[in-house]
Structure 1
Amino acid sequence: MFLHRSYVTVILAMSADGKIADFKSSPAKFGSKLDKAHLENQIAISDAALFGAATLRAYGTTLTVSNPDLLQQREKADKPSQPLHIVITESAKLNPEIRFFQQPVRRWLLTTHVGADFWYDRQEFEKVLVFERNSGKINGKTNQRIDLIAALESFKQEGIENLAVLGGGTLVASMFELDLIDELWLTVCPLVLGGLTAPTPVEGNGSLENLAPRLELMEVRTAENEVFLHYRVKRE
């Protein structure tokens, strides 16, 4: 499935009851230093990191590689010190003053024609990519959505072999629906958040049990009251 697209690994931390943020969608800070190091390691072995606008708005920044050993590994692999960071958003309504735009990383924007209008003649993004598909009409107007399949095929052509997806749940759901996820890292953190509206790792409309993606457990680690679960998506 991934011969013509980037290989996709999702990395998320969640509470023991399966929430990636509280009911106010506050920035999740419940992961330990070990979990942060785990996330940094996954980013460091990737060619690019993809995340949604809601995730970016919540944090205002992205996680960069700072561990000297990881930086050295990237240098030995003849890779830039930082992977590419790609924001995916249909509206592209982002504040150009947030700290993300001052961080020392290459930035791409994946959006629609409507979302791209504001950013084309600006310097914040190295590239503004538009991949669209029609998804019916709303109030008589054609609803344009991002074509994730075309985008990931384009990423592969651009040399992005391994793509880390950092959230949020709506993006992950869309990628599961299109069978675009290959591996999944979940860190289970020792707290219970609750809340009907608190975001979860996979949002969207959900799946019926007989149609749900099936996973193969590849690795389990425990440390500092956290459980690190590594899954591979099973395919026929």
Structure 2
Amino acid sequence: MQHRPHTTVVLAMSADGKIADFRRSPARFGSKTDKAHLEKQIAASDAVLFGANTLRAYGTTLTVSNPQLLQQRIQAGKPSQPIHIVITHTAHLNPELRFFQQPVSRWLITTKTGALFWQNRPEFERILGLETATEKIDIAVALQHLLTLDIAKLAVLGGGELIASMLELELIDELWLTVCPLILGGASAPTPVEGRGFLSQVAPQLQLMEVRTFEQEVFLNYRIRR
């Protein structure tokens, strides 16, 4: 039995596997159907997790607004919105971001140093300042801690560095990837998994669970094979 939440990566990407253009602009190329799909995955989760660069790019987070999804959460005894968790080593975030005015419960996972600025401030309801020797977050320990706080199902929304770190530590269970009908190109354009990369003989292996197509988009659900 794993002592961490069930984790699902949810991302939209171009046909050539980019999650943003070479300027790292906010990726808004997904359709209304893709946005609804993302909202459904968020609504099914106890919390969503994303890195600081993802937050900086968008300035906001996606909240659950579909009345049916809201009703399902309330009937299940859950709050109307999942918890939105930012994970960042430095916690250098602009308090003026619209994210901090959105009607969601916000948590911060950071280092002891990263937590200093945000203590005794109203922006984050809970700050998990993890003590480590290297001033780097131990993601495995962080997820174990989330499970003790009743986070059993976690949606991971990016970015590529965070997902790479979690894959390397075998902390991802499944992925939902939406393939959108455009090509972004660019050697510096970010992909779903950044980091150092994996050699083919030790790369994480996937099992295709579901394929959906709607108009010009393809929705792929993979499970990580252990």
Contact 1:42 1:164 in 2 (8 A): yes
Distance 1:216 1:15 in 2: 21
* Count of residue pairs the alignment pairs up: 226
CA-to-aligned-CA distance 1:116-136 (integer Å, 9 cap, x gap): 1100110100011022444xx
Q: What SS does the corresponding residue of 1:197 show, helix, strand or coil? A: coil
Report the TM-score when normalising by structure 2: 0.98
Q: What SS does the corresponding residue of 2:135 show, helix, strand or coil? A: strand
| 1:132–1:213 Cα change, 3 Å | farther
Distance 1:192 1:80 in 2: 39
175, 179, 192: which is aligned to 1:188? 179
Counterpart AA for 1:186: L
Match of 1:146 in 2: 137
Match of 1:37 in 2: 36
Q: Map of 1:122-161 to 2, 5 A cutoff?
A: 122-134=121-133, 143-161=134-152
Q: Percent of aligned positions with the same letter in both sequences? A: 69
Contact 1:13 1:188 in 2 (8 A): yes
Contact 1:31 1:189 in 2 (8 A): yes
Contact 2:111 2:132 in 1 (8 A): no
| 1:132–1:199 Cα change, 3 Å | farther
Q: What SS does the corresponding residue of 1:216 show, helix, strand or coil? A: strand
Distance 2:210 2:44 in 1: 18
Q: Does 1:59 align with 2:58?
A: yes
Counterpart AA for 2:165: S
Q: Does 1:24 align with 2:15?
A: no
| 1:132–1:173 Cα change, 3 Å | farther
CA-to-aligned-CA distance 1:132-161 (integer Å, 9 cap, x gap): 444xxxxxxxx4210111110011110000
CA-to-aligned-CA distance 1:52-105 (integer Å, 9 cap, x gap): 000000000000000000000001100000000000011101010111000000
Report the TM-score when normalising by structure 1: 0.94
- Structure 1, unaligned runs of 5 or more: 135-142
Distance 2:74 2:48 in 1: 18
CA RMSD of superposed structures (Å): 0.8
Q: Which runs of 4+ in 1 moved over 4 A?
A: none
Distance 1:64 1:189 in 2: 22
Distance 2:57 2:70 in 1: 27
Q: Does 1:201 align with 2:200?
A: no
